[in-house]
Amino acid sequence: MTVAWATLRRSWLVTRRAYPWSYFIGTLLLGVFTMGVAYLGLRAVAGDQVPAEFAGRVGTADYLGYIAVGAAAYMFVVHGILWIGKAMIQEQREGTMGALVVAPARRLPYLLGFAAFAFTAVALEVAVLLGFALLLGVRPAATGAVDAVLAVAGLALAVFGMSVVLSNVMIVAGEAHITQNTVFQAVAVLSGFTFPRDYLPEALRWLGELIPVTAAMDVIRGVFTGGTGLDPARLGVAVLIALGYAAAGLLTMPWAERRAMERSF
């Protein structure tokens, strides 16, 4: 707990003083432009009419609301991975990984501290994006406060699980640019943020099931756009896969750290 709290405080301090805005602006622009394309497309191209076929698939005729929730969730995922997944490689690049390895701090609270930082920072971003969505006339609504909290918690857990595994991949490969961008693009297509997943070919739909974020997104959809409420079965799936990822990541972390340290000498 001390470690998590200290990491959270450190991250906020560093971000406020040293590099404040680049991730913030980058991910926010992505969300804003995704919404912008949907808005202009609906206005000018579709003549303000949402086709019945889409409404039938997703259970709502609110195309913009659908995109807004997806864009906000996507921002949440991207930003979470940028901070939690990149925490270790950042230490490696700055030359402090050796100190971290010998320090009497465990990795789980350390990463949880980063997660707490990422999710508090991204809350700001999502608020700005939803403010923008309100300007465009979007009114996303949850089916209930408890549902909303559980759905967001599920997504956060899914992001955390993925980040732990990614963190290992990054320090072993000694590379973050290709890894992170490939993951972002793949998740954008496979997990159905801005379109219903049943558009995808069947093989890709199954591939998506391997990513914890996919099931978590289905829960978010039920609560924030479909109006069908919380789906406990999908939430269970998301939590299980996420915990599986986190456990696998934490178990292989000592090996990954050894590899990374050996290579750096």
- Contacts to other proteins by CB under 8 A: 22, 25-26, 29-30, 33-34, 36-38, 40-47, 49-51, 53-54, 63, 67, 175, 178, 181-182, 185-186, 188-189, 194-195, 199-200
Q: In the bound complex, what is the minimum distance in angstroms from residue 13's beta carbon to other proteins?
A: 22
Smallest distance from other proteins to CB 33, Å: 5
What is the C-alpha separation between 97 and 94, in angstroms, rounded? 8
CB 190, min distance to other proteins, A = 9
Q: Which residues contact 35 (CB under 8 A, 6 or more apart)?
A: 64, 67, 68, 71, 129, 132, 133, 136, 138
For other proteins, the closer of residues 198 and 228 by Cβ is 198
Minimum Å gap between C-beta 217 and other proteins is 14
Q: What are phi and psi of 181, to 5 degrees?
A: -65, -35
Among 102, 97, 72, smallest CA distance to 87 is for 97
Considering the complex, state which of residue 12 and residue 184 has its C-beta at the smaller distance from other proteins. 184
User: Would you say 83 or 110 has its CB closer to other proteins?
Assistant: 83
- Say if CB 142 and CB 230 are below 8 A apart: no
**DSSP state letter for 159:** H
CA atoms within 13 A on the CB side of 215: 22
Q: 172 with 88: CB under 8 angstroms?
A: no
Closest CA to 214 of 231, 197, 233: 197
Choice between 81 and 246, CB closer to other proteins: 81
As measured in angstroms, the least distance from the Cβ of 44 to other proteins is 4
Q: Residue 258: how many CB atoms within 10 A of its CB?
A: 12
Closer residue to other proteins in complex, CB, 5/33: 33
Nearer to other proteins, 47 or 104 (CB): 47
Distance CA 23, CA 229 (A): 32
CB of 170 to other proteins, least distance (A): 13
